[in-house]
Structure 1
Amino acid sequence: MIRKCKEHGYFRGEVCPECSDEGRYVLDDDREERLGRFVSGALRHFPEDVGLEMDAQGWVDLDFLYDAMKKRYRWGTMERLLSLVKSDKKERYEIDDSFIRARYGHSVEVDLISDYPENELSFLYYGVSQEEADMILDNGITPVRQCYVHLSTSLEKAKQAALVHTDNPVIFEVDAQAAQQEGVDIVTVNRDIALARGIPPIHIRITDA
């Protein structure tokens, strides 16, 4: 559920995490899920299917996205769309003036490398299943069903991400500093995720943690 606190803005849950105020109802769980699937699809996977024009960096016109949403969901409002974006703890999306885009997760080709700050962490992390580990040791990390490799900024975040797909993940440590010194572009898109086109095997190792 998404609600709005007068002082702290949109939040997900029953009470504002900042002040425990109940806030004002904006969106229930079912509609939040349906709207979330639509926005994710439109901004990451099939913009043309819903009539959106996306630029090279993944931006689309916010009003056009709203119009496309309204055609599918008569209960959709601009406030509900904005509440979905602004309350998202995973920081999936960003708004700049009158444009919106997904920060990560694209299957359509977009150029994010030139548009986000260079990674400053020495090490990043990537979790996979036991079955995938040997292949990655041989071939490095390459995108699967997406344009970019999604690296975690912490070991714990990598474990959380991997546990969505496997019960017993293998976590790789990526020597991001060495990779970048050798010309591998890695950018930071939010506090938890960095993106790269790929990581050569020489710059990865299985972590013991």
Structure 2
Amino acid sequence: MEDIRFCPEHGYYRGERCDRCNHKGELILDKVKVEKLGRFISGILRHFPDRFGLEMDENGWVDFEKLSKVVSRKYRWANKWLIKAIVYSDKKGRYELSDGKIRARYGHSVDVKLNDYEEAENDVLYYGTSEEEAHRLLEIGIKPVNQKFVHLSTTIDKGIEVALLRTDEPIILMVDAKKARTAGIKFLKANNHIVLSEEIPPEFIKIIEIEKEE
């Protein structure tokens, strides 16, 4: 986790210096508060809006001002500007702000449809996992686990990055999204690195070899 700072020219960023101009901006949130606030916001927007009386529409949007009030009650030092700092500095594109509303772009366990997402046009997608899990998925397919959608990576490198969170020996499954799409499976673009989908049957999945560094 990194601190959030503000660059006068390029806005909020994470780390010591702005990666666009190398300016060391004003400290906005230290990394401890970034983690606390980020976890709370993502928890509400992905898993438990009802717990705090927030209404979420079928596309995952909640009212930004109402969320800000909930956050301020939880953390007295927090306000809507710090929420925006979390959103705009997030390198993984977890959140979206528009027309007075906010949502998580992916990771939902609550029932959302995300009908306003752009459909992904990738011919192939990737899923990083462990060796043991990979062989099981080749038999039963890839299904959402504790989430509404399957989360796929747009590149092999991103698939490896995800898999390394769970195993030191990543295995990459390739999904033939082009064929799956013709079979009626819908793919939604969450951001440039993540695509969401329904369950992927095993006939559209295969293991690919990863070149290992010597």
Using the size of structure 2 for normalisation, the TM-score is 0.95
Look up the match of 1:180: 181
Superposed, which structure 2 residues align to 1:159-170 within 5 Å?
Answer: 159-170=160-171
- 1:57 matched to which residue of 2? 59
Partner of 2:88: 86
The root-mean-square deviation of aligned C-alpha atoms, in Å, is 0.8
Which residue pairs with 2:19 in the alignment? Answer: 17
2: CA distance between counterparts of 1:131 and 1:208?
15
What per-residue deviation string (whole Å, max 9, x for no partner) do you get for residues 19-38 of structure 1? Answer: 11111221111100000010
Q: Deviations over 1:161-193 (max 9, x none)?
A: 010011112110011111101110011110100
Q: Which residue matches 2:136?
A: 135
Shift of 1:6: 0.8
Equivalent position of 1:117 in the other structure? 118
Letter in 1 for 2:161: Q
* CA positional deviation for 1:79: 1.1
The separation in 2 between residues aligned to 1:175 and 1:49, in whole angstroms, is 39
Q: Indicate the residue corresponding to 2:202 in structure 1.
A: 201
Structure 1 range deviating more: 130-139 or 190-199: 130-139
**Partner amino acid, structure 2, of 1:25:** L
C-alpha distance in 2 between matches for 1:121 and 1:155: 13
* Amino acid of the structure 2 residue aligned with 1:115: D
What is the CA distance between 1:74 and its match in structure 2?
0.5
SS in 1 for 2:67: helix
Structure 1 position 50, deviation (Å): 1.7
How far is 1:148 from its partner?
0.3
Structure 1 distance, partners of 2:195, 2:102, is: 19
* C-alpha distance in structure 2 between counterparts of 1:179 and 1:197, whole Å: 10
Superposition deviation, residue 54 in structure 1: 0.6
Residues 32-62 of structure 1: CA deviation (Å, up to 9, x unaligned): 0000010011000111112211111110000
Structure 1 residue matching 2:54: 3-state secondary structure: coil
Task: Give the residue type in structure 2 aligned to 1:4.
Answer: F
**TM-score normalised by length of structure 1:** 0.98
Distance 1:111 1:15 in 2: 38
Unmatched tracts of structure 2, length 5 or more: none
Task: For 2:119 and 2:36, locate their aligned partners in 1 and report how far apart those are by CA, in whole Å.
Answer: 34
What is aligned with 1:33? Answer: 35
Q: Which runs of 5+ in 1 are unaligned?
A: none
User: One-letter code of the match for 1:137?
Assistant: L
Superimposed CA distance per residue, residues 74-98 of structure 1 (whole angstroms, 9 cap, x where no aligned partner): 0002111100000000000001110
Q: Secondary structure at the match of 1:35?
A: helix
Q: CA deviation at 1:197?
A: 1.2
| Aligned residue type for 2:123 | S
Q: How many residues align?
A: 208
Alignment partners' CA distance in 2, 1:21 and 1:134: 48
CA distance in 2 between counterparts of 1:37 and 1:103 reads 15
